[in-house]
Amino acid sequence: MKLRDKAVIISGAGRGIGAAMARRFAEESPRGVVVADLDGAAVAAVASSLRERGIDAVPSRMDVTRREQAHGLVEIAEREFGAVDLVCSNAGVATGLGVHASDDDWSRAWSVNVLGHVYLAQAALPGMVLRRGGHLLITASAAGLLGLPGDAPYSVTKHAAVGLAEWLAFTYRPSGVGVSTLCPLGVRTELLMPGLALNHPAARAVADAAPIIEPADVADAVVDGLADDRFLILPHGEVGEMYARRAADPQEWVAAGWGAR
């Protein structure tokens, strides 16, 4: 998908990868962008930065764990810009906890990292199928392909996010709807860097596996991946190699330890 003259929704767009995608997409001259985040002030600032560059942008404070708000976001985009061409479901949370995380922590990870994608897909798909066009981008993580020590709720729910994207691709590509899943490793965002400063084992494992890249690098990879209609968008080349090793010998992958080279 080329982004020129397209109507785009980006959730989790207040900072990090979501904000970087919004700013990078602006270089491609989209018809309009709706940027959404639980942090209303942050997303308003992102929208303002896009408007300064001549891009029609609308901010929306949104909780991705609320189904009705996902539907409302699509309605806003349709009202402002017409048919929605691209939905980037980008919100995510980490816990830094193991299998004994509380029920609340497990529930929050599931609600944001999985159901948030489900709700946006439910809202956008009917129109896309009717028009036989459109694209869904789900931000998962390399953890969804490789696993991740040190954060059980994150690892498990990111696997589920990749599984959801794959199911959507199987089911809706015949109807003309494209699907991609974004799976970066370490990115210099608030999701990773505080844990790295504390030497948390999950953050340390990510940093040791591959270089930490900037959100802008991820956004560049997204633009390229969408243009090529790739299902897996991998900003870190190392992830493809690690994923192949894991698939070739799961026993060795587990026995050697995550990310062992």
Catalytic residue set: 154
Helix (H) or strand (E) holding 160: helix 152-172
CB 178 within 8 A of CB 229: yes
The C-alpha atoms of residue 78 and residue 85 are separated, in whole angstroms, by 10
- ∠ CA 206-207-208 to the nearest 5 degrees? 90
Question: Which token pair is 137?
Answer: 């981008």
CB 208 within 8 A of CB 236: no
CB 59 within 8 A of CB 108: no
Angle, helices 40-51/16-26, rounded to nearest 10 degrees: 20
Burial of 63 (0-12, 13-18, 19+ CB in 10 A): middle
Fill in the DSSP letter of residue 113: I
Angle, helices 215-227/16-26, rounded to nearest 10 degrees: 60
Specify the long-range contacts of residues 73-79, CB closer than 8 Å, at least 24 apart.
73/9, 73/11, 73/34, 73/36, 73/120, 73/123, 74/9, 74/120, 74/123, 74/124, 74/127, 76/34, 77/7, 77/9, 77/32, 77/34, 78/127
